Amino acid sequence: MKKIMICLFLSVGLSSCHVYQTYKRPDSLPVDSLYRQSVATGDTISLASLSWKELFTDSCLQQLIETGIRNNTDLNVARLKVKEAEALLMSSKLAYLPSISLTPQGTLSSVAGAKPSRSYNLATSADWELDIFGKLTNAKRGAKAFYEQSEAYRQAVQTQLIATVANSYYTLLMLDKQLDITRRTAEIWDENLRVMKALKKAGQATEMAVAQTEASKFSVDGSILSLEQQISEMENSLSTLLGMIPSSIDRSVLDGQSFPEKLAAGVPLQLLQRRPDVRQKEAGLAEAFYATNQAHAAFYPSVMLSGSAGWTNLAGGVITNPGQWLLSAVGSLVQPFFNRGRNIANLRVAKAQQEEALLTFRQSLLDAGAEVNDALGQWQTARKRLRISEQQISSLQSAVQSSELLMRYSSQNYLEVLTARQTLLQAELSAAANRFDEIQGVINLYHALGGGVE
């Protein structure tokens, strides 16, 4: 009989070897073709290798990011989820140990009014499931994958937080720049209106021209109010993101910001290691893989060892006190039979969920590649537009100087000088927007490559 049992265990064990397989990354991932031809480089060093303090050197911004990492609600919730997953992982590891419990029991009984008899049973029992068919192992591996998934989620929230804080901060700097330029534009329109009124008195301008100039002045005044409102709303939004009461944000100026002149995206394979959201999806795939293994393991028997030890006064026919020792040991094997249909359904569900996780993982990698392409393209295009804006500003500055000289030494009037200055300020507004777009491209590329994890 003993040999038969051994052969049975060996045959079933060999047939269930696949439940002990560990997760391996799929070979069919489209890693090599993630970047466009104009983006891909042979350099393995990417922008994401920089820490956020090395990229964002503005001391005011660094303080804001540190405050956000410390106080942001979403990030703190993500940290708590990591602790929950860590506790689940610890629980799955403890499942290998026997379950020990104290089971004291006492009875008081009387028959036909006789003197009550007292009995007791003080025993400690233990139950231990042998992990022959991988149920506990796959549960532990699945819990570990879930922990890695939670940690990757925390890192993804942190990278998104850093990018959002930086983007909001530079938005404030751009709005400050636009507000300054718009206020200077308003001063020119005030001067414009005074000149038009003077020309009207001299009979050189009409009432319609004065009204149009005044309307343009009011339009600029309205733009100032809108910019001031946007600045206030952005400060409120950033304060809330940082877990602070809405207040004014200390900041520097847009013209004082500096970033690397060259940005490298590295090789596409790095997205699998650096992008926390991609690693989160892969950890989800690993968790689904081990869930499928668990569904396979449910077809095999469970082997339990149980035992108890203690003392009792119920041993034998005569009640004795103190009690006698009580020892027992039981081994049991439970083979699922009637719930086979349920196990088959559970296995199908687990396989379908694993396929879903694989598709989600592949899609996250494709999305990551697209984000890198978009961000690098945004940065490159913004730099080109900024160079054009700088050339335009240089030409307009020359035009302003020429108009001022012509006004002094020819018949050109002051209104033409004001028009040239106004055009220059409009070009400066466009240059500020292009500069912000360039900075935003740097932030988006840093985030798309998985920067800011630590």
Using alpha carbons, list the distances in angstroms from residue 210 to 4, 104, 236, 411.
109, 101, 40, 21
Q: What is the pTM of this model?
A: 0.82
pLDDT beneath 70, residues of the chain: 1-18, 37-45, 106, 108, 110-114, 120-122, 307, 309-338, 407-415
Beta strand pairing call for 105-109 and 99-102: unpaired
Which domains occur in the chain, in start order? Answer: 26-94+156-299+342-448 (1.20.1600.10)
Per-residue pLDDT, 413: 64
Q: What pLDDT is stored for residue 432 in this prediction? A: 92
State residue 203's pLDDT score: 82
pLDDT digits (tens, 9 = 90+) for 201-226: 888 778 887 888 888 889 889 999 99
